[in-house]
Structure 1
């Protein structure tokens, strides 16, 4: 009898211990979301209930542009975002403000991320035809980085071509198709839309795909003070990536609902692969640091440990 009583008390205490205290706040993450394919795993994790199953509340805060997303992060109004290796450098010039915790997307042989395209009537067929030509880019961003590296691999030097700054992707696409610029660098799926409208593919990032990636980043304060929230977010993210890879057609409706692809592509666009769980390497960041220093955008190297953090 005494043994049964003791067992009952132990079970009761265990159940109480498993219950959150009355005043405890649930773990939460505020995610800043651009209307880009890279954030699809967040919407899938919400739709499938993965965040809730991990005991995490996630608030998605839309941002219309990278500048708006960065303002939200700098103001501490979001905890996580998808960005790129170039912007990570600018955040962490002086100290760690954000940590990269995952590769979000990357280029594949069958699915490039960045394309250098020519106007249908420009008569440009190859990278060599870009000598002396003005290419529309977004200066000081991953778009400029990829443009330089793609053309470098094709045998061109920065002095062989010129660039014009058109920061907004829809404006750059429109300028290209209207012939106001002969060439432009565009990310997919806007590149897919331009190609459907007749743009000529001059080059893409398949030859430099080892450095062509976007990243998932957390505010450094969250990683350092609340790593459990980041860990649970990543577990749900990884589950969402697996779900997308298993059945990409299932999430075509989300692409339209969240406006992750241009309207003319809704219903026909084929999702690219999403990568396995991984962090950017030292070599990948070394390359983008070397580029930024050569451009005068950085004055000194940034330690890898200030840029990347593995969350366990």
Structure 2
């Protein structure tokens, strides 16, 4: 594999990656693949099949507790937040109604499900009051919910709107309960990434796009439209375009606090332990 090729896995192409592609330097190649689950992302990173993953930052808190490399870090935050809506059967009206429900998730112990579990706990539901069934990423969860394989799940645009259009019901929004909920991060393995020149090039491209997009929002919308994304998804991706790549300290501490609330491993981790801003700092120009 060429030193100028970067292999990245994600659920949906982040808007900042689309904008960064407009000024791709000669010889650089981004090899992207859509993942079906965070567990798949974990294994691909462990096996060295990919160099980086765009994923829930909470995954890092859990992945470093698994028996494995334990060297996962967030090197950039790819969006301000990830819009997440709890969608379920038309008979459900509030989180407290999910007693006895079968909730479809990506993974039961990491990712966006932790925010959902924290939301349900605040509504008075313990872990024994509902069942978590792993079915995969957002596309897979949407399909499984429509097919009646579960009672509720977390969905983002456009799948939340599409589900409601099919007779399902909006129950709650994560951001209404956790206002500082952070967007997805760019996750790598610390031990093998600092010599990755393609990764450094891509982060430099992402950094440069922060100055480009405020004046090119319409171009970004057109580029996202060309990916055959529904209008709701395009709007959400544009609205959550970051103003900085520095991972939010408040956001990550919120995730750590959710794990503490639920008594889960990873609650004793600090921001400094899972965030590596050295890639970003190397690109800062002196004032």
Scaled to the shorter chain, the TM-score interval is 0.7 to 0.9
Relative distance call for 1:253 and 1:299 in structure 2 (3 A) is closer
* 1:221-255 deviation line (CA, Å, top 9, x unaligned): 354345x6544422311333444444344244544
Q: CA deviation at 1:258?
A: 4.8
Q: When the two structures are superposed, what TM-score results if normalisation uses the length of structure 2?
A: 0.76
Q: CA deviation at 1:256?
A: 5.6
SS at match of 1:213: coil
* Residues 1:33 and 2:3 aligned together: no
Q: Any unmatched runs of 5+ in structure 1?
A: 1-25
CA contact (8 A) 2:6 2:199 kept: no
CA contact (8 A) 2:182 2:248 kept: no
Q: CA deviation at 1:306?
A: 2.8
Q: What are the within-5 Å matches in structure 2 for residues 133-144 of structure 1?
A: 133-138=101-106, 139-144=108-113
* Residues 1:90 and 2:67 aligned together: no
* Residues 1:51 and 2:27 aligned together: no
SS at match of 1:165: strand
Bigger Rg, which one: 1
Q: Indicate the RMSD between aligned Cα atoms, in angstroms.
A: 3.4
| In structure 2, distance between residues paired with 1:273 and 1:299 | 27
Relative distance call for 1:268 and 1:307 in structure 2 (3 A) is closer
Q: What are the within-5 Å matches in structure 2 for residues 186-265 of structure 1?
A: 186-207=155-176, 208-226=178-196, 230-252=199-221, 254-255=223-224, 258=227, 261=229, 265=230
CA contact (8 A) 1:100 1:279 kept: no
Q: CA deviation at 1:97?
A: 2.4
| In structure 2, distance between residues paired with 1:225 and 1:114 | 35
| In structure 2, distance between residues paired with 1:241 and 1:258 | 21
Match of 2:139 in 1: 170
Q: When the two structures are superposed, what TM-score results if normalisation uses the length of structure 1?
A: 0.71
CA contact (8 A) 1:289 1:298 kept: no
Match of 2:32 in 1: 61
* 1:44-100 deviation line (CA, Å, top 9, x unaligned): 322x1x230xx7723323143234433332122322221222221233337652321
Relative distance call for 1:293 and 1:128 in structure 2 (3 A) is closer
Relative distance call for 1:239 and 1:199 in structure 2 (3 A) is farther
Q: CA deviation at 1:145?
A: 0.8
Q: CA deviation at 1:141?
A: 2.6
CA contact (8 A) 1:150 1:203 kept: no
From 72, 75, 90, give the equivalent of 2:47. 75
Moved more, 235-244 or 283-292: 283-292
| In structure 2, distance between residues paired with 1:152 and 1:104 | 28
| In structure 1, distance between residues paired with 2:76 and 2:266 | 26
Match of 1:8 in 2: none
* Residues 1:185 and 2:159 aligned together: no
Match of 2:85 in 1: 115
Q: Any unmatched runs of 5+ in structure 2?
A: 283-287
How many residues were matched structurally? Answer: 271
